[in-house]
Structure 1
Amino acid sequence: MAQFKRDLNIICLSPFTSGHISSQNKVPWWTQEGEVQMVQSKGSRGLRVAGAEATVLSFPASQIFSNCDYFPAEFSLVATMKIPRLRQKRNEYIFSVVEEGSDSLLLGLRVSENCLHFLFMPPGVRGRRRQSFKGVGLDDNRWHTLVLAVSGLYATLTVDCGLPLDRSADVPHPSFPSALSTRGSRFFIGSRRRMRGRFSGLLRQLVLLPGSDATSRLCPTSDPSLAELSVPQVLRSTPLQPDHRGPLYPYEAEARVTLGNPPPCSGPEQGQLWFNAQRKGLFICDGLTWTTLLHNPERLDYVEDYQDLYTSSETFDVEIFSVPSEGLFMAAANRDSRPGSGIYRWRNGSFQLYQNISTQEARAWKHFTIAGKIFLVVANSREAEPELSVIYRWNQRRQRFLRHQTLETHAALDWEAFQMHNHSFLVVANHRRDSNHNILSVIYRWNPDTQLFEVNQTVATSGAYDWEFFSVGPYHFLAVANTFDGQTTSISSTVYVWLDGCFQVFQSIPTVGATDWETFQIHGRVFLAVANSQKVSQRGPSLYSINSTVYELNTLTQTFIRFQDILTHSAVDWEFFTVGEEKFLVVANSHDGSSYSLNSVVYRWQGYEGFVAVHSLPTFGCRDWEHFSTDQGSFLVYSSATSRLSKVFKLRTY
């Protein structure tokens, strides 16, 4: 195995030590044109190396391989970077090892649109080889930390402490990497020694580490996208530049003070400070949004009855969304077809009716955007021939939602919208067809040419009630809540994972009349909560007071395992929300076997104790909870499936 100079070897970004970072008082964050720039983005610092000469950002391989010229049989590459969106067919090198005499690439790490490529030249083989990791989404203008572990013929990629992706060489090369000689070669940071393929993003750390997978040295961590193994000190702290006038901070900022409404934050305001006197917080504009510098974390004190919202008929679901330049809206899924379902707009501190849309026993709304266009899709459940659910599109000129497309559904109870790999999808929960609950639910994909959704995949479901989409690292999941198979509610609900161009079964989880899945993350831990509604027994009455369960993803077994059981009463919805730094779950308790007038409960996350009940809210036929925030504060709204009265609650904080 190669002998390194140190146990932990940073591929040194030489500008740190050779004086290329400017320390002039007026521009301490970046250098003169043509040199390395130090840039702070989204609260963290990195180096922009695109403007430097390739030779400046290079060094002989002998600086690392001092006692032996050969790579170790196992090694890891750790990189933290922020990459802007890349055009098609554009490739950029994070680093490369190049033979000086022939200019041949011996080894390199390259990024392209939504892909990462590990390139190497096996000893004694003509032409280089490539191991590609597709769909990793590194070029999204966000910070990411990746660990690429190489062991013989295999390479494993871990992004942001997520699930690992494995690749093996297409053609076996048993001599790689242990027989790869670095004699007479140089490391190049952010390039392949040429102008073409220069790295345009920001680099925060770049580490070469001998031995097996280094993921365990970084993960778990509270901030996986910025996991640290060896970040240079200059990128960690904010330097002060003393002179005869005293310390000079790294930027000068204009300060504004308001009582709540944020001032504009765009390019011209970048670096400005804003003090929110109402919430006692100090923020800085990063050119896009206001980023928190200092704040007094809010804590939930109590829940206050805020607005009685009378709808045209019973309401099965509410969906909160925003329309740019128009404000906050709420879509209510109402039972009666006339006047249909209501779209409400938040004005003067309350929801007011804005538009009525004709629906057929609407059970759910889902809001989504595609290429800046705003859509709403409704799940119509009234039996008719054919049964049609409808997609509506926001018309900016008429300031209304207009019909865009109809899709055949069967007693549809829910829609889920999501995006993967630059494609937009919809999935419908088809509950039953006549008396048959074991039918197909359908996944649709948006066709940008026709501007319509088309069938992409069908999935067998049993009384499907809800779909939930979520991602863990580079993996994408769909969970379906199966309620009833025609005989019993004690059946399995299924979690699917996207593999090889379609959703495949990942795990089946026993549930009891499952009506909702809610996914959320707390300190890097991934949870999935199911609402169990009732246990139907062929002998004796049905049971409504049963446990609903919170599951946690175990990264070792790669399965969801039971974390906590919570007694609920025909639970039909979970809603996860945060207030300040506190995390909460609220459950919709709808029926206990004798009454619809029940307390729905707010649970607070308390670490090792799990979720602990902190507030009980009287509700009647509660069907759905939604959390939202406005300039007036944070709110919860619930819909009633047995009454025209839905309610808005205000979360009072201190």
Structure 2
Amino acid sequence: MKNIQDLDTSGARAAETFIHGGTRYLVVPQLAVDVPGQPAMITVGNSDIDALVYRWQDETFVPHTRLPVPGGEDAEFFEIGGRAFLATASLKSGAGPYELNVDSVIFELKDGAFIEFQRVPTFAAKQWTHFTIGERHFLALAQGVAMEGTEARNPSKSAIYEWNGECFAEFQVIDSTWGYNFAFFEIGGQRFLAYADHVARSRVMLWSGTRFEDFQLLDGKTGRAFQFFEAQGEAWLAFACLHDDTVLLRWNGTGFVAHQTLSGPGGREFVWREDAQGGELVQINFLLGSREAPVTSLTSVGYRFADGKLVPQRELPTSGATDACAFEDSGHAYLVVTNSLGADIRFRTPSKVYRLGA
């Protein structure tokens, strides 16, 4: 593994790569920039900044454009009937006091340009997940926060939106408190949607044919993310928690059962990448400790199966890491990792592009 590029990012919160019109893009939403004279804290900074859009060229990402995504948390690319869209999630705006009632914007891509398509009123938005059921297109939004002094004027519950041919309209509200993530997957013809919440019980929901119903409540609090994958002839669901254990669950035919504890606290995100060796699960670790005194210099891990268990095979030094994405080009495999906080608890810290070896 070789670090081939440092991206000049500030509070980077997500990495989304995709190909459109023959060009590979990388979108990196940013949470905040440091304000001179402010103390070093995860909860401060100026959130009125842009998401960075890069273009892949000669084994490097070059700046392409910037998108107005204040307090950026996520970007999700998808296509509908030949049209291409990018849904972005904004946690907040302002430089203090902060406003959590903000619009999250869906852009449409046309000839390399990102054009505002729809504004969705959101409250502390964290993540969009696009999925399809038959010919129907859905966007699941994880959002919300439960903190003293915050007041929701926009819809505050996590929700699912459906494409109605012209825009995305609310389809189903999810019982939620402090939403972080969704993951859609199918097993044996059944369609599931896993939902991670920081305060409420994280859960797996099952599509009934008309809506998603609770299927299985999960142990562990401070849920952050899921990764579904199939390997070793089994179906797996990795579940990351910030202040609890990050675990691997196995599908036993009727539900998910505990299979392995991957790590203690600190879990934030995953990426599963298939390869000739059977596949690698990369676990991105965010921080330890509290928001007031975080430890950001952690090690993120790449796992592979050995004797029925996931075993660490690769270590990545990260700093307040938040996300990763993998892709292949010209016979090489690459991994992008976003870092959001330096060891000094400042937002300005580079995100990394790695070329992976065998």
Which residue identity does 1:410 align to in structure 2? F
Matched, 1:494 2:203: yes
- Once the two structures are TM-superposed, the CA of residue 431 in structure 1 deviates from its matched residue by 2.2
Residue correspondence of structure 1 range 93-108 to structure 2 within 5 A: none
- Residue of structure 1 equivalent to 2:43: none
Matched, 1:416 2:129: yes
- Once the two structures are TM-superposed, the CA of residue 473 in structure 1 deviates from its matched residue by 2.6
Which residue identity does 2:262 align to in structure 1? I
Structure 2 length as normaliser, TM-score?
0.86
Contact 2:100–2:123, Cα closer than 8 Å, also in 1: no
Contact 1:466–1:516, Cα closer than 8 Å, also in 2: yes
- Residue of structure 2 equivalent to 1:641: 340
1:607, 1:498 → 2: CA distance? 34
Which residue identity does 1:430 align to in structure 2? Q
Q: Deviations over 1:476-495 (max 9, x none)?
A: 1111001125xxxxxx2111
- Residue of structure 2 equivalent to 1:577: 273
Matched, 1:565 2:264: no
- Residue of structure 2 equivalent to 1:368: 78
Contact 1:439–1:460, Cα closer than 8 Å, also in 2: no
1:319, 1:648 → 2: CA distance? 13
- Residue of structure 2 equivalent to 1:484: 199
Structure 1 598/380 Cα, relative in aligned 2: closer, same or farther at 3 Å? same
Contact 2:231–2:278, Cα closer than 8 Å, also in 1: no
Residue correspondence of structure 1 range 324-473 to structure 2 within 5 A: 324-325=21-22, 327-336=23-32, 337=47, 339-382=49-92, 384=99, 386-396=101-111, 399-432=112-145, 435=150, 440-448=157-165, 451-473=166-188
Larger Rg: 1
- Residue of structure 1 equivalent to 2:305: 605
Matched, 1:322 2:31: no
1:606, 1:578 → 2: CA distance? 15
- SS of equivalent residue, structure 1 residue 428: strand
2:177, 2:235 → 1: CA distance? 26
Contact 1:569–1:590, Cα closer than 8 Å, also in 2: no
- Residue of structure 1 equivalent to 2:215: 506
1:436, 1:459 → 2: CA distance? 19
Structure 1 length as normaliser, TM-score?
0.48
1:530, 1:561 → 2: CA distance? 12
- Residue of structure 2 equivalent to 1:547: 245
2:185, 2:115 → 1: CA distance? 29
- Residue of structure 2 equivalent to 1:517: 226
2:357, 2:100 → 1: CA distance? 48
Question: 5+ residue gaps in structure 2?
Answer: 33-46, 93-97, 342-347
- Once the two structures are TM-superposed, the CA of residue 404 in structure 1 deviates from its matched residue by 0.3
Structure 1 468/436 Cα, relative in aligned 2: closer, same or farther at 3 Å? farther
Contact 1:344–1:355, Cα closer than 8 Å, also in 2: yes
Identity of aligned residues (%): 26
- SS of equivalent residue, structure 1 residue 412: coil
Residue correspondence of structure 1 range 283-302 to structure 2 within 5 A: none
Which residue identity does 2:297 align to in structure 1? S
1:461, 1:386 → 2: CA distance? 17
Residue correspondence of structure 1 range 47-62 to structure 2 within 5 A: none
Contact 2:101–2:124, Cα closer than 8 Å, also in 1: no
**Structure 1 or 2: larger strand share?**
2
Contact 2:49–2:70, Cα closer than 8 Å, also in 1: no
Structure 1 338/457 Cα, relative in aligned 2: closer, same or farther at 3 Å? closer
- Once the two structures are TM-superposed, the CA of residue 631 in structure 1 deviates from its matched residue by 1.0
2:206, 2:337 → 1: CA distance? 31
Structural RMSD (CA): 1.9
Matched, 1:616 2:315: yes
1:467, 1:436 → 2: CA distance? 24
1:607, 1:372 → 2: CA distance? 44
Structure 2 residue aligned with 1:589, among 285, 300, 309?
A: 285
Which residue identity does 2:66 align to in structure 1? N
- Once the two structures are TM-superposed, the CA of residue 581 in structure 1 deviates from its matched residue by 3.0
2:169, 2:315 → 1: CA distance? 44
Q: Deviations over 1:120-153 (max 9, x none)?
A: xxxxxxxxxxxxxxxxxxxxxxxxxxxxxxxxxx
Q: Deviations over 1:38-69 (max 9, x none)?
A: xxxxxxxxxxxxxxxxxxxxxxxxxxxxxxxx
Contact 2:48–2:71, Cα closer than 8 Å, also in 1: no
Contact 1:517–1:530, Cα closer than 8 Å, also in 2: yes
Structure 1 569/328 Cα, relative in aligned 2: closer, same or farther at 3 Å? same
- Once the two structures are TM-superposed, the CA of residue 416 in structure 1 deviates from its matched residue by 0.5
1:331, 1:605 → 2: CA distance? 31
Which residue identity does 2:56 align to in structure 1? W
Structure 1 residue aligned with 2:330, among 611, 616, 631?
A: 631
